[in-house]
Copies of this chain bind each other. A is one copy, B any other.
Amino acid sequence: MKTIGVGVIGTAFMGKAHSIAYAAAGSVFGDALRPRLEIICDYNPERAEVMRTEMGFSRCTSNWMDVVNDPEVQLISVCVPNSLHKEISVAALKLGKHVWCEKPMSTNLADSEAMLAAAQASKAQTILGYNYTQNPAVQSARELIEEGAIGRVIGFHGIYDVDNEADPDRPHSWRMNREASGSGANADVMCHLVSMAHYMTGSSITRLVGDYDTVHKERTDPQNPSQTLPVDNDDVCTALAHFESGIKGTLRVSRVAWGRKCGLSWEIHGSQGMICHDQERLNEIKLYTRSDDPRQEGFKTILSGPAQPPYDAFLPNAGHSLGFIDVKVCELKHLLDSIETGKPVWPNFEDGLKIERVMDAIDRSAMTGQWLDV
């Protein structure tokens, strides 16, 4: 059994999710490359030690350089704030270490380009944590599309609504300030939708017009609750898009959409059918294909099952449901396979940069009111 030493930098939700995935991957996939949990890093040494114990790592540190430089470590999870992605990823790649970096890629195109350059100069593999594309049901949908189940792809339409900031009484935060965080819903939420658009169509967005809306224009100043601070980035972000393949589509995201907890839904329109998905029902795919008998025409609700690998590594029967963390384990599996075979995995840093360029173009278009090339 081959193993690989792993290190995790960052211990918030995603750091924990990566750690759980590393711990589970061996049991789930059996004979695959097996992660060894070597070292975990949090800038707070006490928390680092707590998380080392809880997550089951051998060592811990408060200095991310220790992880990058650890000779036992070949694969590094980058689960820190977006502004640190570049420095860590580049350092790791320079040492030939594989990088599993959370999304979005970074906070600006220059950083993302530097990350891609480092990846291209390295033999190591990279992957970005656009986990919704790693769902076996979604990957099965793409497989069906590639096999022609819905004919030629003619359109992509996607939505990603969440209600994280829906409450007008939530106080102001750095996320609501353009200078501090760049765009709002575009940066935070749109990136997932663009990853899905690119993945499902097998193409990239090349031209678009975007629009922003700041719905709640003032929020309470948390330091001074009797006053408000302006929100100057987007609560809602929308775009009309053209793809390299010639198809067109629409994108819409909101961080203020009451009731949507993980409302990533999309439709692929085809010349002979349609396929749809809603992340809040991640174990279901809707498929419409034509029928000779109009009495039998309708959308099928297809439950996840072992015909959608690697579902079969988790569960032997359909309809038993994978969860969010299982999908993160699938993501890891695809990266481990990539490391073993040397073949790139989607979305590596090259794919990621294409996604970043779309958000950047939406931002520029929303600011200028122009159709723009990506």
A residues with a Cβ closer than 8 A to B are 1, 13, 16, 19-20, 23-24, 26-28, 30-31, 50, 53-56, 140, 143-144, 149-151, 154-155, 157, 159, 164, 166-168, 209, 211, 213, 215-216, 236, 238-240, 247-248, 250, 252, 254, 256-263, 269-274, 279-285, 287-290, 293-303, 305-308, 314-326, 369, 371
Contacts and interface: CB of A to CB of B under 8 A. Distances in A.
Contact of A254 (B31, B155, B168, B305): B155
B324 A315 contact: yes
A320 B248 contact: no
B318 A294 contact: yes
Given A258-B290, A302-B298, A168 B56 contact: no
A220 to B, nearest CB: 15
Given A23-B26, A282-B321, A301-B299, A273 B258 contact: yes
Contact of A261 (B166, B300, B303): B303
A244 to B, nearest CB: 15
Contact of A301 (B16, B250, B298, B318): B298
Nearest to A240: B211
Contact of A298 (B164, B300, B324): B300
Contact of A259 (B50, B151, B288): B288
7 contacts: A144-B295, A157-B252, A259-B274, A261-B320, A262-B319, A294-B306, A322-B323
Given A151-B168, A238-B240, 15 more contacts: A19-B27, A155-B213, A166-B271, A167-B290, A209-B211, A209-B371, A250-B252, A258-B274, A258-B288, A259-B299, A261-B319, A262-B317, A294-B306, A294-B307, A295-B305
A-B pairs with lowest CB-CB distance, top 4 = A261-B319, A323-B323, A259-B288, A30-B54
A322 B324 contact: yes
A203 to B, nearest CB: 14
Contacts of A272: 168, 258
Given A296-B149, A320-B324, A324-B321, A216 B271 contact: yes
A297 to B, nearest CB: 6
A74 to B, nearest CB: 19
Which residue, of A154, A294, A322, has the highest number of chain B Cβ atoms within 10 A?
A154
A301 to B, nearest CB: 5
